[in-house]
A and B are shown apart, each in its own frame.
Chain A
């Protein structure tokens, strides 16, 4: 089976940096995704890692260690609009995605 863990909630200050961790245990690993989801909206793609290391895209970066079953999403220069749920999802098997419960991030002034 698949087991994906991430913190339920986090709070950070506007302008700061926050790191959201995700650990996973899975068979047939074929990549890890991070999605952002605002309430009532579709999950939107943020990042994808399939090889170890750091992928940087603007204010957002994502890191993967396959040997440790670990990833993190790093958000820099936090803005109020970054308040949302952040979903860690692992692709395994026949291209199906397996999600964590999501981390609800609240950015405060």
Chain B
């Protein structure tokens, strides 16, 4: 089975520009999560989709971040305008509805997008 795919793997943009990150979850996984790791800190939760609906977006840092999941398949995370403190690695993870006992217990992570704002 194909894993979670994230694009691009790296992005370098100037402060004030816009960047859109994309995540393709495992086919059939209704749950999709975005996480972010700022250098030297822990991976932090940003938001959670169930299909196309935002289940929890309590981790979104501010209104410069916009996540969408039209059609309940892939998701995009747009940062507009980007600031220096937005630099970090953005991870996406997916799981089936109601992670169950067994296997990876639902969460499969992508390799992340390393965003550098200069």
Contact = CB atoms under 8 A, between A and B. Distances in A.
| Interface bin, chain B | 20 to 34
A109 interface: no
B105 A96 contact: no
Contact of B111 (A4, A40, A89, A96): A40
| Interface bin, chain A | 20 to 34
Given A31-B105, A45-B107, A95 B42 contact: no
A43 B107 CA distance: 10
B112 to A, nearest CB: 7
B111 A94 contact: no
Interface string B84-115: 00000001010100110000111111111000
Interface in A60-99: 87, 89, 93-99
Given A95-B31, A96-B33, A99-B43, A43 B99 contact: no
Nearest to B105: A48
Given A33-B105, A95-B99, A101 B42 contact: yes
Nearest to A102: B42
Interface of B: 3-4, 31, 33, 35, 40-45, 48, 55-56, 91, 93, 95, 98-99, 104-112
Given A97-B45, A99-B44, 15 more contacts: A31-B105, A33-B105, A42-B3, A43-B43, A43-B91, A45-B108, A89-B43, A95-B31, A95-B98, A95-B106, A96-B56, A97-B93, A99-B43, A101-B42, A102-B43
Interface of A: 4, 31, 33, 35, 40-45, 48, 87, 89, 93-102
9 contacts: A4-B42, A40-B111, A42-B108, A42-B112, A43-B91, A43-B109, A94-B55, A95-B106, A99-B35
